[in-house]
Amino acid sequence: MGQLIKLLDYISRYETDIFQYSRQFIELKKENWNKTKRAFEQGRLEKKEEKEIEPEKKPQLGWRRLLSRLKGNEKHEKELLIKNETPPLETIQEVKQNFLNELISFQLQWASTTVQEKSFLDRTYQKDEKLKFFLQRFPDTYFIMYHPVVKVRKATMESEVILIGPLGIEIITYLELPGSENILPSSDHSWHALNKEGSYKVMNPLLSLKRTETFVKSVLKTYEIEFPLRKVVLAPDLTFHSFQEPYDTDFVDKQRYEEWMYNKRSITSPLKHKQLKTAEALLKHCQTTSFKRPAWDTEEEVKEEG
């Protein structure tokens, strides 16, 4: 599951220490998945009562647990079983999908709070299908910056999705045109989409990709980081016609989508130092809007939103 390191202009704990939190996320996810899987295999996933337990004695249910305040040696305090309000899960695949769905809430928590500060989270992100796609379809070693508000010279803009993998960066625009099956790219400001009624114009997505590319390249240059960069027009439900891809750009339509995803998911490389430094640099040049958390709003309160 990809790591959501920046969402719009929300504060993110990855901003405070990308090295710590990126590895901690992988460890926590693995630990909780193993407990959930073991509970399912032993027929103990349908517990109804709320009961406080020690983490090493019994497995927890899904990702619903209280995490310790992040201090020093990161000691884990007690965990909490929360009443299961979902229908019984019958297959391991259902258990896995439910686990990943619950993990989105955890990701949003990390992408909108730190120990001391928080941002007002728009609850529609809980049901954002595109965000869900980027989080659930990529491995843990990919960082997702989901339309971050970035600083370009003296102005700010909402960028396209920035995907930072172990081997490079991809700036992605997700092209979705309900009712249309074909699209004709061009070098003009508009492209033509085709449906049963005929054709209509859509904004050329390369324009926005180029603006985001300018931001990313300027940050990499500032910190003297060399990291491969590509732009992607992702359109898994469309077919591109009569086009030639510009330099360092991929048009991924439904004919190329499965291969493109397979290549991403088949990368087994761990987190790379240059990848972490790149993410750290980009985060420094994003806008953040947040406020100080009140004393009663403790870090242990990780709740399932929905």
Q: What digits encode the pLDDT tens for the residues 257-289?
A: 999 999 999 988 899 999 999 999 999 999 999
Q: In DSSP terms, which residues pair with 192 in a beta bridge?
A: 184, 201
Lowest mean pLDDT among 61-65, 161-165, 211-215, 269-273: 61-65
pLDDT at 128 exceeding the cut of 90: yes
7-28 residue pLDDT tens: 999 999 999 999 999 999 999 9
CA separation (Å) from 244 to 136, 156, 194? 31, 31, 18
64-79 residue pLDDT tens: 443 333 333 344 333 3
10 Å Cβ neighbour count for 284? Answer: 12
Average pLDDT of the chain is 83
Q: Which residues contact 206 (CB under 8 A, 6 or more apart)?
A: 185, 231, 233, 246, 249
Report the pLDDT averaged over residues 117-126.
93
82-112 residue pLDDT tens: 334 456 677 888 888 888 988 999 999 999 9
Q: How far apart are CA 178 and CA 176, in angstroms?
A: 6
Which helix (DSSP H) or strand (DSSP E) does residue 192 occupy? strand 190-195
Q: Would you mind telling me the total number of residues written for the chain in this entry? A: 306
Report the pLDDT averaged over residues 232-239.
95
